[in-house]
Chain A
Amino acid sequence: MQIIKDRAIVEDNWLHLDDEAALVAGDITVSITRWQEQHETLAKHQGGLGIRLTGEDPLEEIVPDLAEFSLIVLIFPAFTDGRCYSFARLLRDRYKFTGEIRAQGDVLYDQLHYMSLSGINSFELAEPEKIEQALAAFDYFSESYQTTALTPEPLYRRR
């Protein structure tokens, strides 16, 4: 499938495995439950390894393991559920995660800008047919007042 990554449309081959699904070769993501139950097996996985989190999950518990992951998928069950904005911010700013952070779920055009300022850099759109159009969503604003994942200094130190 196609996703937006670093503001470009790219082909994506990650497999998001259910907790019951057998492990397969290649790039895979697993839920936090599966990671916590099978981390020894998973740490030996040959392809890329990613973890999936929802706003309910205990983010801090996986912080010691972050080096194991090249992808963190943040799940938005509804676009109005804003918890994962804080997750993204913490992952980038506090826990210094430099890999890919992806938004999955109810991911819509009009939320992409704030998601990207919070530190999310790839997006599986809920409406994949709008992917071309969605590239424009990052360009509405030239500045923001706050410290963001893209501008570590708030505007008041730059103006």
Chain B
Amino acid sequence: MYQYDNYDQAMIDQRVAQYRDQTRRFLAGELTEDQFRPLRLANGLYVQIHAPMYRVAVPYGLMSSKQVRKIADVSRRFDKGYVHFTTRTNFQMNWPKLEDVPDIMAELATVQMHSIQTSGNDIRNTTTDELAGVCADEIEDPRPWCELIRQWSTFHPEFAYLPRKFKIAVIGTKADRAATRLHDIGLHLVKNHEGEIGFEVLVGGGLGRTPILGEVIRPFLEKKDLLSYLEAILRVYNRLGRRDNKYKARIKITVREHGLSHIRELVDAEWVHIRKQLELDEKEIERVKKHFTVPDYDTSAMDDASFAQMQAKDADFARWVKQNVRDHKIPGYKIAYISLKAPLIPPGDVTSDQLDIIADLADEFSMGEIRASHNQNLLLGDVKQGDLHALWLRLKADNLAAANMNTMADMICCPGLDFCGLANATSIPLAKEINERFDNLDYLYDLGDIKIKISGCMNGCAHQSVGHIGILGVDKKGEEWYQFTLGGSSEADASLGERLGRAIPKDEVVDTVATLLEVFKELRHEDELFLATVRRVGVDPFKERVYADN
């Protein structure tokens, strides 16, 4: 993975010093709350209901074991001994003290981590495919490009006060595991007719109050032009994006109001001027790529026979393998998901002690690296098949082996009213109730891949509009109600869910999920997946049953 040089390290160290001084001035009354707000946000610090919430970047989801141990350390010393992983592969601390944040930041800087631009109206952490570099169907590893974007976007002086936040995701496969069509810019590494690899560029995707899928602004962009083209889009957006209404300030609205073809013309007109100036040279591309070379894989890993034997012998292990293990591009290696969706645990939460164990396991079994996924789980990307049983036993001992990836229990859920100052309704308790009601694993396996996403308000942090079942908390005269949508997807076949009908009171939410599942079981053809059934029959059959009583 990328290792900082003196330039990178100096910049984050200087950032710590700057933020320490800003915090000091705020606490001394030299900065007003309004003046301090964007400064702390640009460093990932929100002020929430109970306490500040501190968000730290995990650039493109990749962490070393050393970094994970440091996360364990700071969450133990400065928080309540756990952290929460987000859908954009950042992690959050829910209970830090505002005055401690410069110290936390300084600790993180010692392991090349930072919280720069994890909030605020700036360019956020760039995300990618959690299987980057290890999946078989990759056109090219997207991570060096993510790192180039990280450096270009970090402290970009022109784009620190954009109309609104700005998110970029990059993938190198046809399958989309990074929800790129829901990003302000989505970049797909593609091969053109001449066999050259470049980027398909999408713009204007986003969730929130007005969910919109990104559209192609440029079908093929040469790699050397990546930064100049991004800069052109950002400059057009910085000048044109609406600043009168924060709900209409994202680039998706700019694109919708001005039309994609007009935006394309403006971007192209800007781009011609800066294309040469910002061209990436081979030397820089190679410098960054050198940090992502293919590791020294053991070719004898595929000779192992114990993996098959242990699955035959141990049904629980076999079940975990089926749900949580994926194929690796190298025969004999596997990718193992560490579920952060154990029953009754808030989705995405992991304790300091568990983090230490995960770091040890990564050192022992997976070349010292850990990845975070868009679905709020962790994974080890390079595990020999012969090591999987030993790994599973250790994960199981620490409640990290829930065999529920891609089942209904693998929910995405925002912090909701329990933690967030914006929320209208709770979300974590609902996830818990759903888990309690549907705790039979065989039932979940039979249902197959069902993605439930629960957001506590229309800002949509849990991406409910692209959930197979989306649940959105709304406030009705001080009471929590929930709006259901069906049939959304964030993957390559991305679509926005359709509203089921009027909102449902809190105490009927779990029953409603049960009804939806009953209807699905009646209507599905053999092993048809939930999403396919909804797309085939539409929402009406579900609607009729859910609202049958009145």
Task: Give residues in A with beta carbon < 8 Å to B.
Answer: 55, 79-83, 85-86, 89, 94, 108, 110-111, 113-115, 117-118, 140-148, 152, 154-157, 159
**A146, B7: Cα distance in complex, Å:** 13
Q: Which residues in chain B, 437-457, are within 8 Å of chain A measured between CB atoms?
A: none
B7 touches A159 (CB 8 A): yes
Known: A82-B121, A110-B31, A157-B284. 13 other contacts (CB 8 A): A55-B243, A79-B35, A83-B243, A85-B160, A86-B238, A89-B158, A113-B157, A145-B152, A145-B156, A146-B157, A154-B278, A155-B7, A157-B281
Choice from A83, A108, A140, A145 contacting B151 with Cβ under 8 Å = A145
B18 touches A148 (CB 8 A): no
B contact residues around A85 at 8 Å (CB): 157-161, 238
Q: Which residues in chain B, 146-164, are within 8 Å of chain A measured between CB atoms?
A: 151-152, 154-162
A contact residues around B10 at 8 Å (CB): 142-143
B351 located at the interface, meaning its Cβ lies under 8 Å from any Cβ of chain A in the complex: no
A146 touches B161 (CB 8 A): no
A contact residues around B277 at 8 Å (CB): 147, 152
B280 located at the interface, meaning its Cβ lies under 8 Å from any Cβ of chain A in the complex: yes
CB proximity of A114 to chain B, nearest CB, Å: 4
Instruction: With A83-B238, A110-B22, A159-B7 as known contacts, state yes or no: A118 contacts B158, CB within 8 Å.
Output: yes
A contact residues around B529 at 8 Å (CB): none
**A152, B38: Cα distance in complex, Å:** 28
B121 touches A80 (CB 8 A): yes
CB proximity of A79 to chain B, nearest CB, Å: 7
A86 touches B158 (CB 8 A): yes
CB proximity of A136 to chain B, nearest CB, Å: 9
Q: Which residues in chain B, 1-57, are within 8 Å of chain A measured between CB atoms?
A: 5, 7, 10-11, 14-15, 17-18, 22, 31, 35, 38-39
B contact residues around A114 at 8 Å (CB): 155, 157-158, 160
B contact residues around A82 at 8 Å (CB): 121, 158-162, 238
A55 touches B158 (CB 8 A): no
List 18 A–B pairs whose Cβ atoms lie within 8 Å, in order of A's numbering. A55-B243, A79-B38, A85-B157, A110-B39, A111-B161, A115-B157, A117-B157, A140-B18, A141-B18, A142-B10, A143-B10, A144-B11, A144-B157, A146-B157, A147-B278, A148-B157, A152-B277, A156-B280
**A115, B160: Cα distance in complex, Å:** 10
A145 touches B35 (CB 8 A): no
The interface residues of chain B, by DSSP majority, are classed as helix
Task: Give residues in B with beta carbon < 8 Å to A.
Answer: 5, 7, 10-11, 14-15, 17-18, 22, 31, 35, 38-39, 121, 151-152, 154-162, 227, 235, 238-239, 243, 273, 277-278, 280-281, 284, 287
Instruction: With A55-B239, A86-B238, A110-B22 as known contacts, state yes or no: A143 contacts B7, CB within 8 Å.
Output: yes
A79 touches B161 (CB 8 A): yes
The interface residues of chain A, by DSSP majority, are classed as loop
**A143, B9: Cα distance in complex, Å:** 11
**A49, B213: Cα distance in complex, Å:** 48
A contact residues around B18 at 8 Å (CB): 140-141
B contact residues around A55 at 8 Å (CB): 239, 243
B160 touches A145 (CB 8 A): no
Instruction: With A86-B235, A142-B14, A147-B277 as known contacts, state yes or no: A81 contacts B243, CB within 8 Å.
Output: yes
**A81, B242: Cα distance in complex, Å:** 10
CB proximity of B154 to chain A, nearest CB, Å: 6
Choice from A80, A142, A154, A155 contacting B38 with Cβ under 8 Å = A80
Choice from B5, B14, B121, B156 contacting A141 with Cβ under 8 Å = B14
CB proximity of B288 to chain A, nearest CB, Å: 9
Looking across the interface, which residue of chain A has its beta carbon closest to that of B160?
A114
**A108, B25: Cα distance in complex, Å:** 13
Instruction: With A141-B155, A157-B281, A159-B7 as known contacts, state yes or no: A81 contacts B238, CB within 8 Å.
Output: no
**A158, B307: Cα distance in complex, Å:** 50
Looking across the interface, which residue of chain B has its beta carbon closest to that of A156?
B284
B contact residues around A108 at 8 Å (CB): 35
A141 touches B238 (CB 8 A): no
A contact residues around B239 at 8 Å (CB): 55, 83, 86
B contact residues around A81 at 8 Å (CB): 161, 243
A contact residues around B281 at 8 Å (CB): 156-157
**A148, B175: Cα distance in complex, Å:** 37
CB proximity of B489 to chain A, nearest CB, Å: 34
B154 touches A145 (CB 8 A): yes
Instruction: With A85-B161, A148-B157 as known contacts, state yes or no: A143 contacts B121, CB within 8 Å.
Output: no
Looking across the interface, which residue of chain A has its beta carbon closest to that of B241?
A83
**A63, B334: Cα distance in complex, Å:** 60
**A155, B154: Cα distance in complex, Å:** 12
Please provide the 6 A-B residue pairs with the shortest distance between their CB atoms, ordered closest to farther: A82-B161, A117-B157, A114-B157, A156-B284, A140-B18, A145-B151
CB proximity of A115 to chain B, nearest CB, Å: 8
CB proximity of B221 to chain A, nearest CB, Å: 18
A144 touches B155 (CB 8 A): yes
Looking across the interface, which residue of chain B has its beta carbon closest to that of A152?
B277
B11 touches A141 (CB 8 A): yes
**A143, B10: Cα distance in complex, Å:** 8
**A144, B235: Cα distance in complex, Å:** 18
A contact residues around B22 at 8 Å (CB): 110
A contact residues around B17 at 8 Å (CB): 140
**A155, B148: Cα distance in complex, Å:** 11
CB proximity of B11 to chain A, nearest CB, Å: 6
CB proximity of B223 to chain A, nearest CB, Å: 14
Looking across the interface, which residue of chain A has its beta carbon closest to that of B273?
A94
B contact residues around A118 at 8 Å (CB): 157-158
**A82, B15: Cα distance in complex, Å:** 21
CB proximity of A15 to chain B, nearest CB, Å: 29
B5 touches A159 (CB 8 A): yes
B contact residues around A86 at 8 Å (CB): 158, 235, 238-239
B160 touches A143 (CB 8 A): no
Most buried by A among B35, B154, B162, B278: B35
**A1, B108: Cα distance in complex, Å:** 43
B35 touches A110 (CB 8 A): yes
A contact residues around B238 at 8 Å (CB): 82-83, 85-86
CB proximity of B238 to chain A, nearest CB, Å: 5
